[in-house]
Structure 1
Amino acid sequence: MKSLITIVFILFKINFALAQDQGERILIGLSAASPPYIMKDRRSGYEIEIIREIFERHKYKVDFFFAPNKRIIEKFAQKNLDAIVNIDNDFIRKATPTKVYPSETLVTFKNIVITMKGKKLKDLNSLLGKRVLGFQNARVLLGKDFKKLSSQLKYYNETTNQETQVMMLLRGRIDVAISDQGIFNYFAKLHLKDKKVSDHFDFHPFFGQSPRSIIFHSKKLQEIFNSELQKLKNEGIIRDLNEKYSIH
């Protein structure tokens, strides 16, 4: 009997040690890759590095679930995800039956209108008569005025692969791209190599900025994230990541 008790006790200690070593797991929903925020390998990127750094400091193991926005919103609303990233806070509040806890701003998207150098635009109405390629769901996400305007454009399309916006502008196949400035700069640098992006393109800030948070079901996780995010700023880590991924 003593031997059995000893064996059970040893197994309990082993399982407890393993649980401590593995840490509690968090599953976070993300949409498709959008470099430099989420890289194509889905293991790196500005946002992923911040999220991992924060929770690993508290011994959490972070896993990411990648799917289209509609699916990750559904899974989050059903509490099959612990958190969701890059979705508008108000939209998530309406889509989720229980209370949610948005963090402080994780990243701010700067949606802009881009043309080749010298092709200046006065305002959004200047898009009339132009060939325009937006990012996926831009028609919905950029407000009622743009949604109305886009329906009047003879040539308006959207793409999930924003690298094509750079290529099509450079090849003269479109007149205008609509993108987050950080994403566009990332792909432009791949094609321009050592040349300055601003030497080839004009940027028109016709849209406001779009701050994005990480939204939790747990207030505890929200508080951990906010506290550690401030520490990363104080320690200069956010500044270093801004430089690493050319986010300004």
Structure 2
Amino acid sequence: MAFSKEIPPYIFEHNNSGIEIDIITAALAHKGHTLKPVYFPLGRIPYAFSNKLVDAVMGDIGVNLKSQGGFYAKAAVIYDNVFITLKSSAISLKKPTDFDLLSVVSFQGAEKRYPKWLKKVKEQDRFYGVSDQLTQVKLLYFGRYDVVLSDRYIFRFFAKKLKLMHGLDVQEVVEHKLTIDKPMDYRPVFRDKNIRDDFNFGLNKVKESGEFERIYSKYISL
């Protein structure tokens, strides 16, 4: 199954762990399946599926994979994406025109998922999509970009890491919740319908047993 490269606390590539990997592993295990993660830059995940390099992907990254033989499952996790600015910049984000003249850095494909906010930014070359989450945080704190669109837990993880790496007095930030993330945007895609069904069954069991919450709690405190 194709996953993005390192996205703590959801994906730790070095030891095949994290919130998303642990939940998908547990869900598949209910019907005897073993997860074997393969890592790609986020934007290459649909390519990996379309070219049959993998049997499944963590999500379609804005590319409809039904035409490529994909069967969509229930979402294992939903990223809590927010627009983040430095408090010192005093930027107010409430409507699309508030992004005029601002530069935005986010994950690859974000402009497809949030066209209301990012379409114009992308068209005017003020958007930078990069899968390296630490780079996103650096670009904000070092003043290269005005806004980061990121999952709040991912951003906090890397802000702490940046502080430890560079001894920075990390500035306060403001989270602007302008998006409502939909489960359908984060559905894993399987090539085999039966395995998709097995995954959905297992995911329900993981949630019913309380294991879902235990996995989240294990990583959110990091």
Scaled by the length of structure 1, the TM-score of the pair is 0.72
- Which structure ranks higher in relative contact order (CA pairs < 8 Å, sequence separation ≥ 6)? 2
1:114 maps to what in 2? 84
The secondary structure found in structure 1 opposite 2:60 is coil
Q: Percent identity, please.
A: 28
List runs of 5+ in structure 2 lacking aligned partners. 165-170
Cα distance, 1:241 vs structure 2: 1.6
* Pair 1:66 & 2:36 matched: no
- Number of equivalences: 212
Post-superposition Cα deviations, 1:135-157, rounded to whole Å, max 9, x if no partner, equal 2232333226522233346x543
Unaligned runs of 5+ in 1: 1-27, 194-198
Q: Give the drift of 1:49.
A: 0.8
Q: Secondary structure at the match of 1:112?
A: strand
* Contact 2:121 2:127 (8 Å CA) reproduced: no
2:59 counterpart residue number: 86
Larger Rg belongs to:
1
CA–CA separation in structure 2 for the residues paired with 1:143 and 1:45: 29
Compute the TM-score of the two structures, normalised by the length of structure 2.
0.80
Q: CA offsets per residue over residues 149-174 of structure 1, 9 Å max, x none?
A: 33346x54332222123233333343
TM-aligned CA deviation for residue 203 of structure 1: 0.7
- CA–CA distance in structure 2, aligned partners of residues 76 and 165 of structure 1: 26
1:110-159 deviations in Å (ceiling 9; x for gaps) = 32211112624133322223343232232333226522233346x54332
Match of 1:181 in 2: 152
2:180 equivalent to 1:208: yes
CA shift in 2, pair 1:235/1:175, >3 Å? same
**Could you say what secondary structure the match of 1:41 adopts?**
helix
| Separation (CA, whole Å) in 1 of partners of 2:5 and 2:193 | 26
* Alpha-carbon RMSD: 2.8
What SS does structure 1 have at the residue aligned with 2:83? Answer: strand
CA–CA distance in 2 between the matches of 1:89 and 1:179?
A: 16
Aligned 1:31-110 pairs, distance under 5 A? 31-41=4-14, 43-69=16-42, 71-88=44-61, 91-94=64-67, 96=68, 98=69, 100-110=70-80
Q: Partner residue of 2:212? A: 238
The structure whose residues are more often strand, as a share, is: 1
Secondary structure of the structure 2 residue equivalent to 1:148 = helix
